[in-house]
Amino acid sequence: MNSTELSKGILKAIAVLFFITLSCFLIYELSTVLIYIILSIVFTLIVNPVVLFLKNKLKFKNILAVITTLFLSFLIIIGFILLFVPLIISQGENLSLLNIPSLQKNYTTLIENLSIYLTDYNIDFLKILNSINLDSSFNFIPTLINNLISTLGNLGMGLASVFFISFFLLKDRVAFFKTFKTILPINQKNKILVSLDKISHLLTRYFVGLLCQLFLIFLFNGIVFLVFGIENAFIIALLCAILNIIPYVGPLLAMLTASTLILISGISADFINITLPTTLYVVIGMFIVQLIDNNINQPIIFSKSTKSHPLEIFLVILISGVLFGIVGMIVAIPTYTVLKVISKNFFPNNSIVKVLTKDI
């Protein structure tokens, strides 16, 4: 290797590193936009069967089918949001029964006693509280409300963006696909198109199956709450079903959330003889529902819709959770499905790929 080739190799390596660095920077800076696009694609996969039904069965024109589908989806989402209003009002009424001055006084006394006790062990408890921004005067409430308002504003902006992007993805899907095909390399065009078709099919099955799973969890938990006379039973059940989107961790969060809401609802009742036993019975009922879901619903939805073994899915979710947290756990299965399909079509002779994709 002469000096010219060496220089070209160094320049090429620098150019590649620069391109990778620039790509990572742009992905980081535009992460919100990318999330909106990804959510729009997922939403499109879910509602596309409805659009096709309206076009093929009811003979709607394309744009009318898209608008109708998005309008119905919007009504469903708004309906879900409005369902939580009675829950919020009732929980607010329950919290209003609390004696706030007495609660604050007890809280302050508890902090002082803990501080005095831990001082004997050379632990500055007040300094620890200050380091995690806990305020004994309850001045954090305005900040919490402002953060809540800001979050709701961001969610509204995100919802509008997703619907706007989804409208054009559904409306101009054929045109986008034709344009996309023209820019594909000729020698890889068939493999890419076959991969996209398979990915679209599997992900549509997965997301529709996921919605069915969440509906069953909502239904079973709602029955459990009704049996034990829980106020706003189906609203709490819906909230628990939504939390189940997070694999493995979601059910635990759902049980914790339901327990907290039930305990708050029972503030005015006999805590030892009524509220606490009812909460325990509900948690046991939710645990049974989760056992049914884990052993019947999930294997059917995750394994059959994505053509993956349950152990394979568990390991993928676990690894994604360790590397990327809760978001990684949520997107683990769809991402893994996409990678499997791509590997199947582009590396069909690889021994590992053959084993992992034999059912695809």
- Residue 114 confidence (pLDDT): 65
- Asked, for residue 126, whether it belongs to a domain, the answer is yes
Count: domains in the chain: 3
Cα 109–111–117 angle (5° rounding)?
100
Residue 316 tokens read as 């993928």
In terms of domains, do 191 and 179 share one?
A: no
Confidence class of residue 328 from pLDDT cuts 50, 70 and 90? confident
Separation CA 111–CA 196 (nearest Å) = 59
Q: Please state, as a whole number, how many other Cβ atoms lie within 10 Å of the Cβ of residue 81.
A: 12
In terms of domains, do 23 and 172 share one?
A: yes
- Asked, for residue 5, whether it belongs to a domain, the answer is no
Residue 68 pLDDT greater than 90, yes or no: yes
Query: Which of residues 183, 213, 241 is at a domain's end?
Result: 183
- CA–CA distances in Å: residue 294 to residues 97, 249, 282: 39, 13, 18
In terms of domains, do 118 and 67 share one?
A: no
Among 62-66, 267-271, 292-296, 331-335, top mean pLDDT goes to 62-66
- Residue 71 confidence (pLDDT): 92
- Residue 176 confidence (pLDDT): 80
In terms of domains, do 17 and 33 share one?
A: yes
DSSP letter, residue 61: -
In terms of domains, do 153 and 201 share one?
A: no
Mean pLDDT, the chain, rounded, equals 77
In terms of domains, do 107 and 256 share one?
A: no
Q: Which of 118-122, 257-261, 304-308 has the lowest average pLDDT?
A: 118-122
In terms of domains, do 220 and 108 share one?
A: no
- Asked, for residue 2, whether it belongs to a domain, the answer is no
Residue 135 pLDDT greater than 50, yes or no: no
- Asked, for residue 16, whether it belongs to a domain, the answer is yes
Residue 53 pLDDT greater than 80, yes or no: yes
- Asked, for residue 252, whether it belongs to a domain, the answer is yes
Give CA 214 to chain center in angstroms: 12
- Residue 67 confidence (pLDDT): 92
Q: End-to-end distance of the chain based on CA atoms, in angstroms?
A: 45
Residue 341 tokens read as 């399909």
- Residue 284 confidence (pLDDT): 92
Q: Which of 75-89, 117-131, 135-149, 206-220 has the lowest average pLDDT?
A: 135-149
Residue 342 pLDDT greater than 80, yes or no: yes
- Asked, for residue 3, whether it belongs to a domain, the answer is no
Query: Structure pTM?
Result: 0.66
- CA–CA distances in Å: residue 215 to residues 212, 239, 242, 284, 294: 5, 11, 9, 20, 14
Amino acid at site 248: Y
The residue segments making up the domain with residue 68 are 10-96+145-183
- Asked, for residue 4, whether it belongs to a domain, the answer is no
In terms of domains, do 222 and 317 share one?
A: yes
- Residue 146 confidence (pLDDT): 60
- Asked, for residue 287, whether it belongs to a domain, the answer is yes
Could you give the percent of the chain with pLDDT greater than 70? 75
What string of DSSP letters covers 88-134? HHHHHHHHHTS-HHHHHHHHHHHHHHHHHHHHTTT--HHHHHHHTT-
Residue 138 pLDDT greater than 80, yes or no: no
What is the average pLDDT across 326-354?
80
Pairwise pLDDT comparison (173 vs 164), residue with the higher score: 164
Q: Which residue is it, tokens 């093929």?
A: 56
In terms of domains, do 214 and 287 share one?
A: yes
Q: Which of 145-149, 212-216, 261-265, 270-274 has the lowest average pLDDT?
A: 145-149
In terms of domains, do 152 and 22 share one?
A: yes
Residue 137 pLDDT greater than 50, yes or no: no
In terms of domains, do 105 and 157 share one?
A: no
In terms of domains, do 213 and 288 share one?
A: yes
Pairwise pLDDT comparison (254 vs 147), residue with the higher score: 254
The string of pLDDT tens digits covering residues 175-217 is 887 887 777 777 777 888 888 888 888 887 888 888 888 888 9
